[in-house]
Chain A
Amino acid sequence: MRMPLHRKVLIYLAILLVLIFFLGPIYWFWALSLRSPTSAFASPPEFFFEPTLNAFIYTFVNPGVNRPQLVSSLIVASGATLLNLPFSVTAAYALSRFRMRAKQFLMMWYISLLMAPPIVFLIPYFILMSSLKLRGTYPSMIIIAQTITIPFSIWLLKSFFDEVPIDIEEAAQVDGASWHQALTRITLPLALPGIIVTSMFAFVFTWNNVIFPLVLSNQSTATLPVGTLNYFATTGATWNFIAATAVVTMLPPMIIFLVLGRYIVRGLTFGAVKG
């Protein structure tokens, strides 16, 4: 069925408008990070300007105020992702492979944790981590992030395990392999792409999280989003620095999502929609 040309043109036009609406703001913020401070609030807005790397140099090179925060973000996000795997891989495997009476209840319990407002956990954690003398440390942030990463990964990983044909595993067991041999030699390698995809999502979620580090970090362990907020919370917002820091904060998730491509739908719906 061929589409008439005028209709095609209309659709392309609509798509173009949609793209401008959704990408324009990102472009505008990137532009801000390359502007001189005087051009930031020019009225009417300056669409053409002389770009400068000053904001990036100040924030990440010299004096590099936000460079330690980049490191903190990487530590917290990688740490949370790695810590979550032993918990979520085993649980997701069990939930995918075995008949369990409590399965539905468990799955519902996990997802309800994902849906719960993080802020309700925050005040007790603030007191708890303070009295354990852990507030301000990386472990405190990494551990607390598990309230999100573990349930999320279980849901998403289960959907990947579900797709590994059970017959292969059973065949191996018939050949005398024990269940854990079957798991480590056959299922895990087959599910590895799924584990990687899940890890990448868990990384992005922790990377983008601001509410836990906001309360649990201190000056030397603050993550990038918190650093961005600092420019704002003190005396007078320096928008170029906010933008430079924010652009660096945006990049890893964007790259990861470009790489993930066809898994995006599944990841964002916790595996509930296959995509």
Chain B
Amino acid sequence: MAGRLSSRRNLPYLLVLPSILGLLALIIYPIGFSLVNSFRQWNLQTSPVPLGFVGFLNYQMVFQTTPFLDSLRNTLILSVAGTFIEFWFGMGIALLLATQLKGTNAVRALLIMPTTIAPIVAGFLFRYMYYEKGGLLTWLLTQVGFPVPPQGLLGSSTTALASIALADIWQWTPFFAIVLYAGLLSIPEDIKEAAIVDGATGLRMFAWITLPSISRTAIIVVMIRFMQLFNMFDLVLVLTRGGPGTASRTLSYNLYQEGLVNYNIGVAAAMTWLIVIIVTILINVYARVAFRGWEW
């Protein structure tokens, strides 16, 4: 709703100024800090203060001494697979809810509960259920004949990343379900009826009418969730600490390890910039698609 109250030209800028200044004040330091120190030798293990400038050595060290590429690969797998599964699983539930049978509202209210939980708590919940001996999920999977690795679901390189993904899927599928359900409800009846008159049924109806009608909603939630998955940290910290080996290490965890465990500030700063560049590209691509033709 573009306003018509533009009598004072500078007023709107005055009103947004506090938030801009506040946020700038908050982010300028980290950005400047990371930029400067990414070119300086500064390792709290060897010196309390930054030493000299070392060119691109820290950037080189990101690749030479930390599993950055492994982490990037894991992060991408997690984000793409996680978003995909959560979207379609959520869509399925939304379609179930859209039948509008009695009790749908109560179901909807209960269903969102996993999403309300702090990710770290969700991590604990799954860590408990994944426990090798007596963990509920491990036990259930064994009962149905699933080959649970002897070192536990979190301890095996083949299942560690998937186990993190499952916890995330549990927590965020309801988010997709509820948002997509809202999208489904907003499809005008007459469009649906017109389609039925044209002979559309089942899958065709879904592909031709339903999906296009909620595409905008879908793109926005996919963008939000993909980025949240891309930044995954809490679950990794509680479930696997990136292990075994680097099997479930994400970019965020890799940065945490280098900066706040090893206190290698220079290399961490360089890694920060590499991640910022990747994220900026992703956000721009997404935002351009998601908010194309948006009415501001």
Interface residues of A (CB under 8 A from B): 3, 8, 11-12, 14-15, 18-19, 21-23, 25-26, 28-29, 32, 40-45, 86-88, 90-91, 93-100, 103-104, 106-108, 110-113, 115-128, 143-144, 146-147, 150-151, 154, 162, 166, 169-170, 173, 179, 204, 207-211, 215, 225, 228-229, 232, 239, 242-243, 246, 249-250, 253-254, 256-258, 261, 264-265, 268-270, 272-275
B5, A250: Cβ atoms under 8 Å?
Answer: no
Q: Contacts A123-B268, A275-B179 given; indicate if A115 touches B227 (C-beta within 8 A).
A: yes
Query: Can you give 24 contacting A-B residue pairs, CB < 8 Å?
Result: A3-B99, A21-B170, A22-B111, A23-B110, A26-B113, A26-B125, A28-B128, A41-B133, A91-B19, A98-B3, A99-B3, A117-B275, A119-B231, A120-B255, A146-B23, A147-B26, A166-B3, A208-B117, A225-B121, A253-B116, A254-B116, A258-B109, A269-B217, A273-B220
Check B96 for interface membership: any CB of A closer than 8 A.
yes
Smallest CB–CB gap between B183 and chain A, Å? 7
Which of chain B's residues have a CB closer than 8 A to the CB of A123?
30, 34, 255, 259-260, 265, 268-269, 272
Residue among B93, B170, B233 making CB contact with A119, cutoff 8 Å:
B233
Check B197 for interface membership: any CB of A closer than 8 A.
no
Which of chain A's residues have a CB closer than 8 A to the CB of B276?
116, 120
Check B202 for interface membership: any CB of A closer than 8 A.
no
- Which among B3, B34, B97, B265 has the greatest number of chain A C-beta atoms within 10 A? B3
Interface size class for chain B? 35 or more
Interface SS of B by simple majority: helix
Which of chain B's residues have a CB closer than 8 A to the CB of A253?
116-118
**Separation of A110 and B119 alpha carbons in the complex (Å):** 23
Interface residues of B (CB under 8 A from A): 1-8, 11-16, 18-20, 22-23, 26-27, 29-30, 33-34, 93, 96-97, 99, 101, 107, 109-121, 124-126, 128-129, 131, 133-136, 139, 170, 173-175, 178-179, 182-183, 217, 220-221, 224, 227, 230-231, 233-234, 237-238, 251-252, 255-256, 259-260, 265, 268-269, 272, 275-276, 279-280, 283, 287, 291, 294, 296
Residue among B16, B26, B116 making CB contact with A250, cutoff 8 Å:
B116
Q: Contacts A119-B252, A246-B124 given; indicate if A96 touches B1 (C-beta within 8 A).
A: yes
B16, A112: Cβ atoms under 8 Å?
Answer: no
Q: Contacts A90-B18, A112-B283, A120-B34 given; indicate if A179 touches B121 (C-beta within 8 A).
A: no
Q: Contacts A25-B170, A265-B179 given; indicate if A108 touches B30 (C-beta within 8 A).
A: no
Which of chain B's residues have a CB closer than 8 A to the CB of A96?
1, 3
B112, A257: Cβ atoms under 8 Å?
Answer: yes
Residue among B7, B13, B178 making CB contact with A100, cutoff 8 Å:
B13
**Separation of A144 and B22 alpha carbons in the complex (Å):** 11
Which of chain A's residues has its CB closest to B286's CB? Answer: A115
